[in-house]
Amino acid sequence: MDLLEYQGKQLFAKHGIAVPGGEVAKTVEEAVAAAEEIGYPCAIKAQVLIGGRGKAGGIKIASDQAQAREYADAILGMDIVGPHGEGPFRVDQVWIEGGSDIAAEYYASVILDRGEKKLLAMVSAKGGMDIEAVAAEDPAALVKVHIDPTREFDVSTARGIVAAAGLAEDALDQAAEVLVQLAEVATEEDANLIEVNPLIVTSAREVVALDAKVTIDGNALFRHQDLAEIADTVDDPQEQMAKEKGLTYVKLDGNVGILANGAGLCMSTLDVVAQAGGAPANFLDAGGGSKAEAIVNALEVIKSDAKVSAILFNIFGGITRCDEIANGIVTASSRLELDLPLVVRLDGTNSEEGLAILAEAALPNLHQEKTMLDAARRVVELAGSGS
């Protein structure tokens, strides 16, 4: 589960990390009122789950009430596309934050390295920049150190990391303390990723987290009731719809809708679609023993993503009956006005009955294939042509 910037900062503050004060606003009037209370200059920052907000015009510095109103009006309701084409993400709220007097910008993060099964601390003196570009152009500028889970990660240990990264001498102690606190957040809040870019030093030589990117392990939310309540407010619309319908769904960035029964088959389907040159729009596991109504619900979720231009059904019938899947497709086509190409591969229990049901229905946009690879190739072709 990804947190919005202000939610990440609230989590940081809970663990003693210095962050700028601010207020959330969902309307222009709320934003202006918050700016008046906080004072000028102040930052008006789009709250969306994507980077590159500044370049997209989603972060503005207002020096007076007129600018606060102008910028809030421009940012609220805007669509932001991520640096790699993600989105668009609509801005429904902004974070109004007091201006910061920045003397230096650093980078700090703590992420879960699944390969090593340890937390990985990363620090760079080149903050405020695309850290991927920094790592590619000057690898030595990004210091990476695994945190030993069998030993206390203390300020002394952290100081060695921030010193190796070349941070200013008079900021080392504070930066080390922040790094320890970030590791504490990762451990105590079950975070997979915590990134601060930039971690600033003010003219008063105070180290402050000016940004916050936080990803929480969704499987651990039962241990964090406060975060579980946040989850309902930040879920992607399709993911929220799927959750309400009891479906296992993850939204991706492509245009090929995927529906399979079983997590393993669904993952394999994503791989084969990518192999065929396509870009999956989602992971959707309808589950074993899927009934017709579950297929209707699944199609409704997939179709609600405007980026989807074709849908692939990859069903292997074990406890799942292929005739139930076919009935679900026919039912959904009448309820949802499906105008997207559907590519169906049915194999296993009652597959012949299922194929007969689809043949009798004679749906205009439906295409049948016998193998997973052929189905993937066909859906990629149809997604590309849009017909």
pLDDT attached to residue 288: 56
Asked if 81 and 134 sit in the same domain, the reply is: no
Residue labelled with tokens 């394999």: 268
pLDDT attached to residue 233: 56
Asked if 288 and 210 sit in the same domain, the reply is: no
- With respect to residue 144, please indicate whether it lies within any of the assigned structural domains: yes
- With respect to residue 307, please indicate whether it lies within any of the assigned structural domains: yes
- With respect to residue 291, please indicate whether it lies within any of the assigned structural domains: yes
pLDDT attached to residue 81: 82
From 178, 203, 228, the end of a domain falls on 228
Asked if 258 and 192 sit in the same domain, the reply is: no
pLDDT attached to residue 336: 82
Instruction: Indicate which CATH number applies to the domain containing 27.
Output: 3.30.1490.20
Asked if 86 and 179 sit in the same domain, the reply is: no
Asked if 320 and 251 sit in the same domain, the reply is: yes
6-17 confidence digits (pLDDT tens): 999 999 999 999
CA max distance for the chain: 77
* Whether the model pTM is above 0.75: no
Backbone φ and ψ for 315, nearest 5 degrees, come out as: -120, 125
Asked if 265 and 246 sit in the same domain, the reply is: yes
Asked if 90 and 56 sit in the same domain, the reply is: yes
Q: How confident is the model at residue 320 (pLDDT cuts 50, 70, 90)?
A: confident
Asked if 152 and 257 sit in the same domain, the reply is: no
- With respect to residue 87, please indicate whether it lies within any of the assigned structural domains: yes
From 98, 127, 153, the end of a domain falls on 98
Asked if 132 and 221 sit in the same domain, the reply is: yes
Name the 3-class secondary structure at 101.
Answer: coil
Backbone φ and ψ for 149, nearest 5 degrees, come out as: -70, -10
Asked if 130 and 67 sit in the same domain, the reply is: no
- With respect to residue 1, please indicate whether it lies within any of the assigned structural domains: no
**Cα separations in angstroms, 96 against 6, 71, 248:** 10, 11, 35
Asked if residue 277 has pLDDT above 90, the reply is yes
Give CA–CA dist 89/58, Å, rounded.
11
From 98, 118, 145, the end of a domain falls on 98
Mean pLDDT on 202-229: 90
- With respect to residue 5, please indicate whether it lies within any of the assigned structural domains: no
Q: What total of structural domains would you count in the chain?
A: 3
* Active site residues per annotation: 107, 195
User: What mean pLDDT, rounded, does the chain reach?
Assistant: 90
Instruction: Indicate which CATH number applies to the domain containing 256.
Output: 3.40.50.261
Q: Name the token pair of 349.
A: 């229990």
pLDDT attached to residue 235: 54
The region that residue 16 occupies, defined by phi over 0 for left and psi between -120 and 50 for alpha, beta otherwise, is left
Asked if 178 and 291 sit in the same domain, the reply is: no
Query: Could you give the percent of the chain with pLDDT greater than 90?
Result: 64
Domain that holds residue 27: 21-98
Instruction: Indicate which CATH number applies to the domain containing 153.
Output: 3.30.470.20
Q: How confident is the model at residue 321 (pLDDT cuts 50, 70, 90)?
A: confident
119-135 confidence digits (pLDDT tens): 999 999 999 888 888 88
336-378 confidence digits (pLDDT tens): 877 899 999 999 889 999 999 999 999 888 999 999 999 999 9
Asked if 288 and 221 sit in the same domain, the reply is: no
- With respect to residue 303, please indicate whether it lies within any of the assigned structural domains: yes
74-98 confidence digits (pLDDT tens): 999 999 887 766 767 889 999 999 9
159-172 confidence digits (pLDDT tens): 999 999 999 999 99
- With respect to residue 345, please indicate whether it lies within any of the assigned structural domains: yes
